Amino acid sequence: MKKRLLSLLLLLSVTAAGCLPVYAAGSSTAQPRTASSSSAVASGAVTQSAAQSGDSVFKPNFTLNSKAAALVNLDTDTNVFEQNANQKMYPASTTKIMTFIITIENVKNVDTATMTYTDKEKKIIDGTGSSTAGLKVGEKFSIHQLLYAMMVPSGNDAALLLATYVGNGDVSKFVAMMNSKAKALGCTGTHFVNPNGLHNVNHYTTAHDMALMAKYALNLNYFQEICNTTVYNLTPLNQPTVKRQLTTTNAMIDRGAQGGLYYNPYVKGIKTGHTSESGRCLVSTAIYGGRTYLCVLMGAPINEKQYGEMIDTTNLYKWIYSNFNLVQVASSKQPIWEVPLNYAWNRDSITLYPEKDVTAVLPEGVSANSVEVTPNVNSAVNAPVQKGQIIGTATLTYAKQKLATVRLVSNEDISRSELVHSASAAKAVFTAPWFVVIFIVILILLAVYIVLAVFYSRRKSDLRKVHKYRRF
């Protein structure tokens, strides 16, 4: 009987032990969270404060002529202002920004590579009534010359010839490369069907996507130089006596265009475009006071009396330069957040620092203390921690406007205490709900065993007495 009880208790204990979960040392079960209620480090360069109710802070106090707009600070890569930036728009000749990208990235030497204008290209361009560089059949040009011919006077004939060259005679192949590149740049609302921007219902983009393309192109060889050229003299390589002067379509960089009405000395490039379906479009940059902006405007009305997109460009630049400054909102030398730390000796928290300094566009008079910090970190960090180790991220906002996202790192090495780790692991085991349940079950089984053992012992004693009496 006693052996059976012991066997039963042993079986139950082994079964309970087999249910014990296995924990990996140093693992964390905390889920990433946005901790707006946690305490920030008081000495940090950025402190958390309630977002000010100012939805209009980053919106101009005037109405645009253009349907869609995107204004980007290139120093911080921040979208400062957008209007219908993801709305489907027809790009017209601003398409040539992508044509430039594909050409310059696929021609090894633009000065030695050449192409001759043929009847094939002429037949496609004739009758379109579109802008051209005046290329003639039989004229031979370098790719470098054709880039000028495409971007300065917005020559559709030059764009087509470049696409023919890069596509090895197949323009559709070139267009496929344009779409592939757009996707690689993160453009989600763009689709091209030609290299020059002639209207097609399936040829479209967005102001946001166009800003992505222009930002990329600004870092390519010759792009800024060509886009900011007002007059270019084009001479065919095989006809040196022919002189053809090409003039920019961008009245914002040409003091003599439109009587200087739209000229702005701070504006640089980039590309104009218009069709009856697209309206007037303009992509430009401006540099003033050490700050650089990119402006994309699309869909301004076609009006011979005024260029609405150029008026919008001037107004947006005047607004941003007059009312906003670049402010350092986070420093890599100042802590920005603090989180609990596990398994370290004699400390229970770790301070987190921005991986790098962060500069953002803020309204005039607004300091870094008005910026709100929203961290995205685990509820606790497990030692060991290495200096420079990425712990999480923090989003910096002002007046509900996202300014930047910065990675948070440790600025010191923190070793793990094996004693603290072992004690923490033991505590985690002994305080776990499953352990408490199993412990209670074992106590109950032990109590049952004791009761049964006592009962069995007494019964055995009684049986001995009965047996003794029977002998008498």
Contact 381, 337 (CB under 8 A): no
Q: In whole angstroms, give the CA distance from residue 217 to residue 205.
A: 16
Q: For the chain, first and last CA: distance in Å? A: 29
Catalytic residue among 96, 268, 278, 410: 96
Whether residue 97 is preceded by a cis peptide bond, meaning omega within 30 degrees of 0, is no
Q: DSSP 3-state assignment of 333? A: coil
Q: In whole angstroms, give the CA distance from residue 207 to residue 84.
A: 8
pLDDT value at position 200? Answer: 97
Whether residue 91 is preceded by a cis peptide bond, meaning omega within 30 degrees of 0, is no
Contact 330, 45 (CB under 8 A): yes
Return the amino acid letter for 369.
Answer: N
Residue 383's nearest CA partner among 418, 343, 425, 352 is 343
422 part of the active site: no
Contact 208, 82 (CB under 8 A): yes
The radius of gyration of the chain from alpha carbons, rounded to an integer in Å, stands at 36
Look-up of token digits 């305080």 = 431
CATH superfamily of 33-54+329-416: D-Ala-D-Ala carboxypeptidase, C-terminal domain (2.60.410.10)
How is residue 304 written in tokens?
């011979």
Would you give the distance in Å from CA 251 to the centre of its chain? 33
Contacts made by residues 301-304, CB under 8 angstroms, sequence distance 24+: 301/65, 302/274, 302/276
Q: In whole angstroms, give the CA distance from residue 263 to residue 298.
A: 19
Burial 294-322 (b: 16+ CB within 10 A, else e): bbbbbbbeeeeeebbbbbbbbebbbbbee
Return the amino acid letter for 36.
Answer: S
Q: DSSP 3-state assignment of 187? A: coil
Domain ranges for the chain, please list them.
2-21+432-471, 33-54+329-416, 68-300
pLDDT value at position 46? Answer: 40
How is residue 176 written in tokens?
């496929």
Q: Who contacts 451 (Cβ-Cβ below 8 Å, separation ≥6)?
A: none
How is residue 332 written in tokens?
């890599």
pLDDT value at position 123? Answer: 96
pLDDT value at position 303? Answer: 83
pLDDT in tens, 56-105: 458 899 999 999 999 999 999 999 999 999 999 999 999 999 999 999 99
Backbone angles phi, psi at 416, to 5 degrees: -95, 135
pLDDT in tens, 277-288: 999 999 999 999
Catalytic residue among 66, 67, 93, 181: 93
* 51: DSSP letter: P
Would you give the distance in Å from CA 108 to the centre of its chain? 30
Q: Who contacts 305 (Cβ-Cβ below 8 Å, separation ≥6)?
A: none
pLDDT value at position 468? Answer: 54
Q: In whole angstroms, give the CA distance from residue 398 to residue 53.
A: 9
Any idea how long the chain is? 472
Right CATH for 68-300 from 3.40.710.10, 3.40.50.720, 3.30.470.20, 3.20.20.140 = 3.40.710.10
pLDDT value at position 465? Answer: 60
Q: In whole angstroms, give the CA distance from residue 269 to residue 472.
A: 126
Catalytic residue among 154, 278, 284, 370: 154
96 part of the active site: yes
pLDDT value at position 344? Answer: 84
Q: DSSP 3-state assignment of 75? A: coil
Count of alpha carbons within 13 Å of 54, Cβ hemisphere only?
17
The mean pLDDT values, 10 residues at a time, for the chain of 472 residues are: 51 48 38 34 36 54 97 95 97 98 98 97 94 97 98 98 98 98 98 98 98 98 98 98 97 96 96 97 97 98 91 98 95 94 87 95 94 94 92 93 93 75 54 72 81 75 59 51
Look-up of token digits 């039963």 = 8
271 is in an annotated binding site: yes
